[in-house]
Structure 1
Amino acid sequence: MHRISLILSQARRGGFTWEFLLDKMEVEFGIQGLEGGYSIRTFQRDLTTIREVYGIDIQFNKRLKKYLINEDDSEPIRMHLLESLDIINAFELASDLGQFVFFDGRRAGGTEHLSPLIGAIKKRVKVRFRHFKNWIETEDFREVSPLALKQVKYSWYLIALNEKEELRNYGLDRIHDLSTTPQKFERPENLNFKEYYQHVFGILNDSTLPVENILLHFSKQQGHYIRSMPIHPSQIIEKDDENGLIVSLQLKINHELISEILSYGDQVKVLEPEVLSERVRRIANKITR
């Protein structure tokens, strides 16, 4: 795991030569207290493991004379999950983490359901669980057809067809007693979740809402963050100068988007559309009263 993590880390930093990697491996072996060396043969086996297990293809670039990630043949979702691998391997090196590693108090509850739900989605079998609704404090027994999983900030959601074949989402942190059933279901052929969430911020997609061209103006300081961490994949930088950053977004106006905008406080201004500006203004006025 440490060898693979090191290879992936160096590849993501712009690539590496065999000689550079060998030096890094020797240092790593010393930290881990491991004996023996690292051979080109072992390296080739590690590349095969990375390709087959992690879906990341690392190839030698003859022009640059170093090993690079071949993004055309690497699965995008795997690239995203490498961040988790970095965290796991970093924490394995340390004891007494509480002395110097501090986590946000909020946790992504329900992550223990991810593996069985992914299995059910791939096998196309229904799942059964008790679902706790925070806002009415009751528990419902559900038997649904799982279609996809979506992460929004700190939370994971199951997207599924309920008993009435209606598309619904369920927070994994509110799912209890999850079990798979032997009952098969047919996945809707015309349902493409990339398109379904293309113009949505968050998890709620109201089909009655239009897609709006949204213009947001951020302060110069906040603009650095928004530039490196876009609000949404549709984000386009319209203007970037001493007066700040202006970005456009193609999104539906929902409560989650408004909450996100409000979270930036006085570092953001809504330029367009007026309906969004007015809704943000009304909520901000209520907060100060």
Structure 2
Amino acid sequence: MAKRDQMLRLIHISNLLQSKKNVGATYDEVLNYLEEKHYSNGFDNDLAFSEKTFKRDRDLLWELFGIEIQFKRSTMTYQIVEDENLEQSKGVFDNLLLVNAYRQTADHSKIMLFEKRQASGLHNLEGLIYAIKNSKLISFNYTKYWDGIPQRKVVESYAVKEFRNRWYLLANENEGKGFFIKTHGLDRLTDLEIHNKTFKNIETDIEKLFVNSFGIVSTPCETPRKIVLSFDPWQGKFVKSLPIHHSQKTLVENDEEFRIELTLVPTYDFYQELLTHAERLRIMEPKSVREEYLKFLSVALEMNEKDKKF
């Protein structure tokens, strides 16, 4: 694993090239940037950096984070290659950037203002990763929100998935009786035990189970639908910068509207997302999705109309 100084270099190199992703940076520009960061971080010694070091750092960025840096000979510049690997690893690297920023502001709590969060269950993450990699059976107590009664479960763990700042375990509960992946919120999981007993890992593309989904409900046996949404131009800027779904395509972008097309299976999570855009959204098609969405609005209106009596 990279040492602290090297990890800081990786962060600084990535930051620089991300900020220059269209034009790239020469080796001298990278060197000058690193020297500036090196001395601004309070190091008195000279920066130990060379073209050979830069090559090792580029290799590490690819090996650890899937960030590929390509040399463009025509301009003698280095650029980050935008592809699927970069998108998939970006969350991990973004967290490193956050940790580094927090380290610099640890004595200034008013500079970085974090949300007040409840327990997330991430203390179990390392154990779960070990169990997944080694096909170990695990057991834990799981408490569903709607009944509040802990139940002991024994499962075969396959992956962990993030959705809206929550992490979920994807596991097969039907040990020896079939295969069905279920999701378990890590914040509701306690008393984790990793067993010595292993299970036969069934080769499956876990990511494919969710490719047509929004959220944590897998929909492998359902046919995705093309959904066309129209936003006012201001809300459209947010939707464009943070797409609702990976299938999002822009159909119209002008001073009147921002219209997109999604290809997915509409689930409860998806309708909840649409409700966050309520007064700035029109569902153009299909009619069935519009009608289901209006049912959610109707229920909300009815509940609030009742409250007028109090």
Structure 2 length-normalised TM? 0.85
Structure 1 residues 111-260: aligned runs within 5 Å: 111-163=122-174, 164=177, 165-189=179-203, 191-206=204-219, 209-260=222-273
Runs of 4+ aligned residues of structure 1 deviating over 6 Å after TM superposition are none
Alpha-carbon separation, structure 2, partners of 1:280 and 1:57: 42
Q: Which whole-Å deviations, capped at 9, do the CAs of 1:95-143 have from their partners, x for residues lacking one? A: 3342121122346711222222122112111111111111100101111
Deviates more, 1:154-163 or 1:62-71: 62-71
How many residue pairs match? The answer is 288
Q: Which whole-Å deviations, capped at 9, do the CAs of 1:161-212 have from their partners, x for residues lacking one? A: 00454321100111111121122112223x3223211111111135665422
Provide the secondary structure at the position in 2 that maps to 1:126: strand
Q: Which whole-Å deviations, capped at 9, do the CAs of 1:139-163 have from their partners, x for residues lacking one? A: 0111111111111112111111004
Q: 2:65 aligns with which of 46, 54, 60?
A: 54
Contact preservation (8 Å) 1:106, 1:154: no
Question: Do the aligned partners of residues 185 and 239 (structure 1) sit closer, same or farther apart at CA in structure 2, a change above 3 Å counting?
Answer: same
AA paired with 2:240?
R
Alpha-carbon separation, structure 1, partners of 2:245 and 2:85: 22
Gaps of 5+ in 1: none
> Are 1:39 and 2:21 an aligned pair?
no
Alpha-carbon separation, structure 1, partners of 2:119 and 2:95: 13
- CA-atom RMSD in angstroms: 2.2
Counterpart of 1:264? 277
> Are 1:12 and 2:12 an aligned pair?
no
> Are 1:79 and 2:90 an aligned pair?
yes
Alpha-carbon separation, structure 2, partners of 1:147 and 1:224: 37
Question: Do the aligned partners of residues 32 and 122 (structure 1) sit closer, same or farther apart at CA in structure 2, a change above 3 Å counting?
Answer: same
Structure 1 residues 82-101: aligned runs within 5 Å: 82-101=93-112
Counterpart of 1:63? 74
Give how far 1:28 is off.
1.4
Give how far 1:219 is off.
0.8
Contact preservation (8 Å) 1:3, 1:25: yes
Question: Do the aligned partners of residues 196 and 73 (structure 1) sit closer, same or farther apart at CA in structure 2, a change above 3 Å counting?
Answer: closer
Contact preservation (8 Å) 1:57, 1:73: no
AA paired with 1:77?
Q
Deviates more, 1:95-104 or 1:256-265: 95-104
Alpha-carbon separation, structure 1, partners of 2:62 and 2:213: 33
Question: Do the aligned partners of residues 61 and 73 (structure 1) sit closer, same or farther apart at CA in structure 2, a change above 3 Å counting?
Answer: farther
Give how far 1:224 is off.
0.8
Provide the secondary structure at the position in 1 that maps to 2:109: helix
Alpha-carbon separation, structure 2, partners of 1:146 and 1:9: 35
